[in-house]
């Protein structure tokens, strides 16, 4: 009779995290919000050279959009509306 052998466990494959994000243009800047480890990351870039001008971590999608809009307003010297209003009015394009 053969002895029972314990099979070695095979580790589960690591899950692949698919990035989810949104982009838009505002005051001649490119705004992007993307999932990040424990929340959302807002980035504002110069569309001409791709240089990141502003980077912020926020706990929610809406808060990240507002952070990006607020920086764009500050950079452009525009204060006719609140950052929350601007973030809602921008045409955000989703990507995966």
pLDDT in tens, 40-77: 999 999 999 999 999 999 999 999 999 999 999 999 88
Question: Which DSSP letter does residue 3 get?
Answer: P
What number is the average pLDDT over the span 12-36?
87
Domain boundaries along the sequence of the chain: 21-91
Given this model, what pLDDT does residue 15 score?
64
96 against 66, higher pLDDT? 66
State the pTM of this model.
Answer: 0.79
Given this model, what pLDDT does residue 57 score?
96
d(CA 78, CA 70): 10
Using a 10 angstrom Cβ sphere, with 0-12 exposed, 13-18 middle and 19 or more buried, the burial of residue 6 is: exposed
**Tokens 């973030």 sit at which residue?**
87
């Amino acid at each position: 009779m053969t002895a029972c052998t314990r099979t070695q466990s095979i580790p589960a494959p690591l899950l692949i995290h698919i990035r989810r994000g949104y982009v838009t243009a505002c005051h001649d800047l490119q705004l992007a919000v993307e999932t990040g480890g424990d929340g959302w990351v807002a980035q504002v870039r110069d569309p001409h050279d791709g240089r990141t001008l502003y980077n912020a971590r926020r706990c929610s999608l809406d808060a990240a959009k507002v952070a990006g809009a607020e920086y764009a307003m500050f950079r452009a010297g525009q204060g006719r509306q609140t950052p929350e209003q601007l973030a809602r009015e921008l045409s955000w394009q989703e990507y995966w």
